[in-house]
C-alpha cells in the first residue's frame, strides 16, 4: 500500500480531528469483488490516516479466490477499511471499505448499518465478481453508483456496454475512476452524493 496506515504512526494526530464546522456526517460504503481497488480508493481519498485491516494472503485462498488480473496481490482486507473526507466545510463522509473475498462477506451486515449509499468498484477484467455484490445492494435497497476502476491492461468498453453486461438500470450513475488518484476518488464520491441528493429531490424512479 502506498499510503500510511494507522500502525505507521500511532496516537492521535492533529489532522485527524473532525473539522469544527462539520454539521452533518454521512456513512458511505465502498464495495466490490476481490482486488478491485476498494482499499486503494479509501486510502487515496481519506484525509485522515486510513484504518486498514490488510493481511498477507496465504495458501488458504488457493483455488478459492480468483486472482485473474490481481496476480501480484499479496495482501487482502479481512475486516474493513475506514477513512474520512470532508466534502465541504459542513459535510463529512465516513468511508467504510468492505472485504472483497466472499468468505468475509458475513461482515457486510454490520458495515452496511446506517449507510446512506455505496460505491461499487468494477474491474472490467473480472466483471463477474460484481454480480453478487450488486444483487446484495439491490436486495438491501442501498442506492449506489458504479465506478469502473482503471487498471492498465483492463479492456476499455463503452459505459453502455458495461451497463448492459451488469444489467444495470438506466438510473444507476456510472463513472470511470482511478482509485489511486485522490481527485478521481473524490469525484466518484461526489457522483454518489449528487445521486443521493437527486433521490431526495426527484420523484422515485420506477424500479423493477
Nearer to ligand GTP, 100 or 117 (CB): 100
The site string for ligand GTP over 64-83 (x = CB under 6 A, - otherwise) reads: ------x--x--xx------
Q: How far is the CB of 123 from ligand GTP (least distance, A)?
A: 8
DSSP 43-87: HHH-SSPPB--EEE--GGGTTTS--TT-TT--EEESS-EEEEEES
- Mark the segment that binds ligand GTP (CB under 6 A) among 30-38, 86-94, 158-166, 193-201: 30-38
Q: Does 35 bind ligand GTP (CB under 6 A)?
A: yes
Which residue's entry shows cell 450488486?
134
3-state secondary structure of 152: coil
Q: Could you tell me the sign of the dihedral formed by the alpha carbons of 63, 149, 207, 140, in that order?
A: positive
136 binds, among Mg ion, ligand GTP, none (CB under 5 to 8 A by kind): none
Instruction: Give the nearer residue to ligand GTP in terms of CB position, either 70 or 191.
Output: 70
Relative to beta strand 75-77, strand 54-56 is: antiparallel
Binding piece for ligand GTP, criterion CB under 6 A, among 32-40, 88-96, 160-168, 190-198 = 32-40
108 binds ligand GTP (CB under 6 A): no
Stretch that binds ligand GTP, among 11-19, 84-92, 161-169, 172-180 (CB under 6 A): 172-180
At 145 the three-state DSSP class reads: strand
The DSSP element (H or E) to which 199 belongs, if any, is helix 182-201
Amino acid at each position: 500500500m502506498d499510503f500510511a496506515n494507522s500502525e505507521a504512526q500511532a496516537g492521535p494526530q492533529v489532522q485527524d480531528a473532525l473539522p469544527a464546522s462539520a454539521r452533518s456526517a454521512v456513512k458511505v460504503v465502498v464495495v466490490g469483488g476481490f482486488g478491485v481497488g476498494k482499499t486503494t480508493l479509501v486510502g487515496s481519498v481519506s484525509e485522515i490516516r486510513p484504518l486498514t485491516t490488510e493481511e498477507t494472503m496465504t495458501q488458504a485462498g488457493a483455488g478459492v479466490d480468483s486472482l485473474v488480473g490481481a496476480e501480484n496481490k499479496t495482501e487482502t482486507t479481512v475486516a474493513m477499511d475506514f477513512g474520512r473526507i470532508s466534502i465541504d466545510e459542513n459535510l463529512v463522509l465516513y468511508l467504510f471499505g468492505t472485504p472483497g473475498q466472499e468468505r468475509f462477506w458475513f461482515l457486510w451486515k454490520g458495515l452496511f448499518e446506517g449507510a446512506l449509499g455505496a460505491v461499487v468498484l468494477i474491474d472490467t477484467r473480472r466483471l463477474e465478481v460484481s454480480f453478487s455484490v450488486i444483487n446484495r445492494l439491490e436486495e438491501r435497497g442501498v442506492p449506489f453508483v458504479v465506478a469502473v476502476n482503471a487498471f492498465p491492461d483492463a479492456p476499455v468498453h463503452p459505459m453502455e456496454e458495461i451497463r448492459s453486461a451488469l444489467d444495470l438500470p438506466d438510473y444507476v450513475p456510472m463513472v470511470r475512476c482511478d482509485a489511486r488518484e485522490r481527485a478521481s476518488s473524490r469525484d466518484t464520491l461526489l457522483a454518489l452524493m449528487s445521486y443521493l441528493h437527486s433521490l431526495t429531490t426527484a420523484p422515485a424512479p420506477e424500479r423493477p
